[in-house]
Amino acid sequence: MMSDSNEIKVSDRASISRTNKICLICALVLVVIAAAACFLAFINGSRAVKQAFDREREAAEESVYHSFYEQGFKAGEEEYHVKNRAVITLGNIRETANLEVLSVSDIAFMIEDPSSENKNIQSWIQVPGTGVYTVDLAAGEFLVDDERSMVFVRIPKPELLPMNISIDHANIEILRFESNVWKSSVRDGEQLAGKQLNEARTRIQEDISSNLQYYEFAEKSARSLLENLIRAVNSEIPDLKVEIEFF
């Protein structure tokens, strides 16, 4: 009996030992599984945190970039407008009442035959003269745009005024002159000469004024001359634009 009882005890012990081993193995497996789950959860959590951190960092970087960009852009604009923008000047150009733009020469032939009025004096003369077209800049409008480096000008059309007709007295040529000294005097000759010169001045003005092509030349000359004048007093602005309109 003792022998059988001992065998049972040994068998029970072996069974308990196997059970304990199995339980221990199961426990270890559960621990490993739990550890793996925790590790995976930690990895996934870390990854989610990193992604959220990256998103927030990118948003913050973009916000800071735009903020600094706008500040830099505004600062650059202020710097450009204050320091790099050229100031256009017109000097005394707009104060010029009569800017000479075109000079035209003409010749008038004046013939005075004997009559009761000139006391038998005959005078044929060749009178050279000059007519000058002018523009009244003082009556014009000058609009200056420093931002676009531009000057807009509205000025009157060129004119040929009576006061701008001149006689070249040094080159007047007497083609024919006859006088009856018994019926005329020096005073009569002076009066006739003055009359012929006045008529020659009027005729030269009429001849020049009637030529429409001269007005076209005068406008082209005025445009070119005024543009050059404005650019000359603003030589530090190489890309200066000048627009001219006549009224």
Confidence of residue 66 (pLDDT cuts 50, 70, 90): low
Above 70 in pLDDT, residue 86?
no
Q: Which amino acid is at 194?
A: G
pLDDT of residue 46: 62
pLDDT of residue 2: 46
Structure tokens at 148: 């676009």
Write down the residue that tokens 């735009």 correspond to. Answer: 66
Write down the residue that tokens 């007709």 correspond to. Answer: 165
Structure tokens at 49: 């945190």
Choice among 41-45, 120-124, 152-156 with the minimum mean pLDDT: 41-45
How many Å apart are CA 145 and CA 236, to the nearest integer? 15
Q: Are 224 and 242 in contact (CB under 8 A)?
A: no
HSE, side-chain direction, 13 A CA sphere, residue 167? 18
Highest mean pLDDT among 37-41, 144-148, 217-221: 217-221
Q: Which amino acid is at 107?
A: I
Confidence of residue 30 (pLDDT cuts 50, 70, 90): confident
pLDDT averaged over the chain? 80
Above 80 in pLDDT, residue 245?
yes
Confidence of residue 160 (pLDDT cuts 50, 70, 90): very high
pTM equals 0.61
Render 182-219 in DSSP notation, one character per residue. TT--HHHHHHHHHHHHHHHHHHHHHHHHT-HHHHHHHH
Of 93, 108, 199, 207, the C-alpha closest to 160 is 207
Comparing 92 with 243, the larger pLDDT belongs to: 243
How many Å apart are CA 10 and CA 6, to the nearest integer? 6
Angle at 242 between CA 237 and CA 247, to 5 degrees: 155
Confidence of residue 11 (pLDDT cuts 50, 70, 90): low
Phi, psi dihedrals of residue 18, rounded to the nearest 5°: -65, -40
